[in-house]
Chains A and B, each alone.
Chain A
């Protein structure tokens, strides 16, 4: 059916690809903070967070407590939405599309299909094209990033190793993704299909990345960021913003540390500013080296 220009005028199209990808674009250069209640959400907003991530327990506590980690209580999420004016994100289990439906109905601005929670499906991720709200997904390499984008993710983040305060895995994943993109841009055309096959990514997206030299969606760092220097390190490596999970509210002085990490993410190239804001932040979160985790303890290995 042909629609005339007049009919299209004034008509609002929601949930389009462009509208979903645009929200993360507005968050670039910013910090998204994990919060477990309305009070923490207000502190995060006060500190200059661009969005908050609502969850029941921060990853460090999920690790400590064990058991099954699920979507937060909707009441808690509603309270957080009520408490702040910045976007509110919330986590659904990998493959748990009903948790995602509930989060969309609650009015969250973005859903994190997250390996921090216990996966609900070990084979299939959520079909994210069915939703009106954007999704962010974790990844360890370009193939995983493009598979999630192929499923409809509007934003990508490194997985890192959540709840450790150890940035090493986030660095590994960011370098891997950015390195593979760089490699792809210099590859002769005839080698692209084999590259796509080897990394298990949709060929069309591989082609697009080869032409543009960047991911078709925004790419943040997450998993183990605990200090302003960690945030600036990830930014200098080439990500477009950072998620901080346990690093803030598991530290000695959350507000002060949160403000410092926000500033570090903006002034990430300015070592003088970084030196200034890194002073006297109190105790950082108690870390746990990612290398000492047993294979079954890692969260980054969840999803594929």
Chain B
């Protein structure tokens, strides 16, 4: 049976994620309210503005916020890109803005500065193999620190840019706007075994190894 991925469609580049998931051979659909999540095997939280999303989920009469958290605790795999990673983080540097606060990471918003510093780069990601991934960073956050239960999947000199904790995956960059679907494939594979990262990643990677490579 085809895997069914919901993409949070309150604001942001959700259409690009839907396209990427469909290119990987799975089904994708928009999630705007709690009941939309019923059919989802996994959820993607796209790029967008975290303060806007917080507003849309936080004070809506429909508790889509709580529903996502409950499904997440039940083991549903979730992937957050850029804003999505901020939304999952337990800690945001200098901010208490609304978020799910479920992943054991501390993030810094706009870590690279204004849009003129946004960039693309060839990023080595060990669990995806060769070649390096065409990663696009748009006013991107960075992961400053993470708990011991978090596996670091990719780093830059500035900090961690991709990480995983059990059924939660985050990246500071936007694979959905590159013509390379390996990160989305990786996420779809998480649906088969959401609890154990090392069984999916062919190589257990660490920040040190990645930097050395």
List residues of A whose CB falls within 8 A of some B CB: 5, 8-16, 18-19, 22-23, 25-30, 45-51, 81, 85-87, 104, 107-110, 132-134, 259, 262-263, 265-267, 270
B157 surroundings in chain A (CB, below 8 A): 10
Judge whether A22 and B11 touch: CB under 8 Å: no
With known contacts A5-B122, A5-B132, A23-B139, A87–B12 Cβ distance under 8 A: no
Cβ < 8 Å to A, chain B residues 128-162: 131-132, 136, 138-139, 156-157
Using known A-B contacts A26-B138, A30-B11, determine if residue A47 contacts B55 with beta carbons closer than 8 Å: yes
Whether B49 lies near A27 (C-beta < 8 A) is: yes
Verify B49–A22 contact, CB threshold 8 A. no
Partner of A50, one of B48, B113, B138: B48
Chain B residues with CB under 8 Å of A81's CB are 114
Q: Do residues B115 and A133 form an inter-chain contact, with CB atoms below 8 A?
A: yes
- Contact indicator per residue, chain B 45-57, by CB within 8 Å of chain A (1) or not (0): 0011101101110
Interface-centre pick from A27, A48, A267 (highest chain B CB count, 10 A) = A48
A18 touches B136 (CB 8 A): yes
Least Cβ–Cβ distance between B176 and chain A, in angstroms: 9
Q: B110 contacts the other chain (Cβ, under 8 Å)?
A: yes
B51 touches A85 (CB 8 A): yes
Contact mask B106-123 → A, CB, 8 Å, 1/0? 000110011111111111
Across the interface, name the chain A residue whose C-beta is closest to B48: A26
Tell me if A86 and B119 are in contact (CB < 8 A).
Answer: no
Binds A, one of B13-21, B65-73, B186-194, B199-207: B13-21
A9-B122, A25-B177 in contact; A109/B51 too (CB < 8 A)?
no
Partner of B116, one of A29, A48, A104: A104
Q: Tell me, rounded to whole Å, the shortest Cβ–Cβ distance linking A274 to chain B.
A: 13
A19 touches B138 (CB 8 A): yes
Whether B115 contacts A23 by the Cβ 8 Å rule is: yes
The answer to whether B174 has its CB under 8 Å from any CB of chain A is yes
A25 and B116 within 8 A (CB): no
Complex CA gap A45/B53 in Å reads 11
- Indicate if the CB atoms of B49 and A28 lie closer than 8 Å: no
Report if B124 contacts A (CB, 8 A).
yes
Q: Is B195 on the interface with A (CB-CB < 8 A)?
A: no
Chain B interface residue count: which class?
A: 35 or more
B9 at the interface (CB under 8 A from A): yes
Are B55 and A23 in contact, with the CB atoms below 8 A? Answer: no
Is B83 part of the contact surface with A, judged by Cβ < 8 Å?
Answer: yes
Contact B139 A87 (CB under 8 A): yes
A109 to B15, CA, bound (A): 23
Q: Does B102 contact A (CB under 8 A)?
A: no
Q: Is the CB of B118 within 8 A of A14?
A: yes
Q: Is the CB of A30 within 8 A of B48?
A: yes
Q: Cβ of B197 < 8 Å from any Cβ of A?
A: no
Q: Considering the chains assembled together, what is the distance between the CA atoms of A89 and B131 in angstroms?
A: 36
Docked-complex contact B118 and A22, CB < 8 angstroms: yes
Bound-state CA distance A11–B134 (Å) is: 11
A109 adjacent to B139 (CB under 8 Å)? yes
Complex contact A25–B16 (CB within 8 A): yes
- With beta carbons under 8 angstroms apart, the residue of A12, A16, A26, A270 that contacts B12 is A26
How far apart sit A8 and B9, CA to CA, in the bound complex (Å)?
A: 34
Question: Is B43 an interface residue when CB atoms closer than 8 A count as contact?
Answer: no
Q: Are A8 and B52 in contact (CB under 8 A)?
A: no
Q: Does B100 contact A (CB under 8 A)?
A: no
Does B28 sit at the interface, judged by CB under 8 A? no
**Distance of A254 Cα from B55 Cα, bound (Å):** 16
